[in-house]
Chain A
Amino acid sequence: MPDAMRPATTVTPLPPCIRYSIRTLPSGLALLEDLFGESFPTQVGQVSGMPDRFVSCLGPDEWSFVAPGPEKSRLASACAELPEHFEGSITDISAREVGYLIEGAEAATLLNSGCPRNLRGMPTPSAARTVFDGVAIGLVKWQDDAFRLDVWRSFVPHIRACLDLALNDLV
């Protein structure tokens, strides 16, 4: 009976994490896979790893790597060890964005309030850079009812307000 009282869908801020923006040529991928211990998918939209540590392919030569916060110093020193012949760039953008977990049966509906993509039809798992109410966001669909959203810090008040508004509409 309290089912109707329970919010079907929730928006939960995620703890701070490591985010690297990575650009490289195909020749650099093997080095990166060794370095981060994750496979680097080569089709735009593919993602590999687990919800707290993953690599997503955002463009033909662009990847996003996310890892738990405590790995910070280990990863930083690992990057410093990259050989001279590595062709690419790794940029630490950890503090640039805030992550949210959007969970529940209506998660896709909630996100579709601001995002024009077909989120129900999006494969599981998969990732995309897309748009939410005019703002660029990163989206990972882990399950049909579990999405991760990353957005630049300065847009957080706007995105939160939009999501809260849409949450009210779901009830």
Chain B
Amino acid sequence: MIQIHCPYCCELLPEQEFAYAGEAHIVRPEDPGALSDEAWRDYLFLRTNARGPYHERWRHVHGCSRFFNALRDTVSDRILVTYRMGEAPPAPPSEEGGDA
């Protein structure tokens, strides 16, 4: 079982309480009507799908019910850091280090 640190509960809690919610920091266009079909498609569907550290949205759905962001390594499935909504995304760790 993976345990995830909720930045609102300030506690390490079991993954069953959490829901994945896609890539983080995707900004909704100010005026969707002004976008070309291609640009709107890209906003809706195209994701980085990184191999390695990846900024993701998660939700503590069976808990405080807050959305928050996480930096997860998609290779090791380790969550490197979690942070509150509105906080600046931490940079992915360098090759050698950055153990959480």
The answer on a CB contact under 8 Å between A116 and B1 is: yes
Cβ–Cβ < 8 Å partners of B63 in chain A = 44, 59, 128-130
* Across-interface contacts of A131 in B (CB, < 8 A): 16-17, 62
Instruction: Please tell me the number of chain A residues within 8 Å of chain B, measured between CB atoms.
Output: 14
Chain B residue total in the interface (Cβ 8 A): 15
A97 CB to closest chain B CB (Å) equals 15
B63's closest neighbor in chain A, by CB? A129
A60: contacting residue among B15, B17, B66, CB under 8 A: B66
Least CB separation from A45: chain B residue: B9
From 4 to 22 in chain B, residues with beta carbon under 8 angstroms from any chain A beta carbon are 8-11, 13-17
Q: Which of B10, B15, B62 contacts A130 (CB 8 A)?
A: B62
Closest Cβ of chain B: how far from A64's Cβ, in Å?
A: 12
B64 contacts chain A at the CB level, 8 A cutoff: yes
- Main secondary structure, interface of A, reads strand
Q: Would A59 and B66 count as touching, CB distance under 8 A?
A: yes
Q: Is B65 an interface residue (CB 8 A)?
A: yes
Can you name the residue of chain A whose Cβ is closest to the Cβ of B61?
A136
10 other contacts beyond A59-B66, A60-B66, A129-B63, with CB at 8 A cut-off? A43-B10, A44-B64, A59-B65, A60-B8, A60-B64, A62-B65, A117-B17, A128-B63, A129-B62, A130-B62
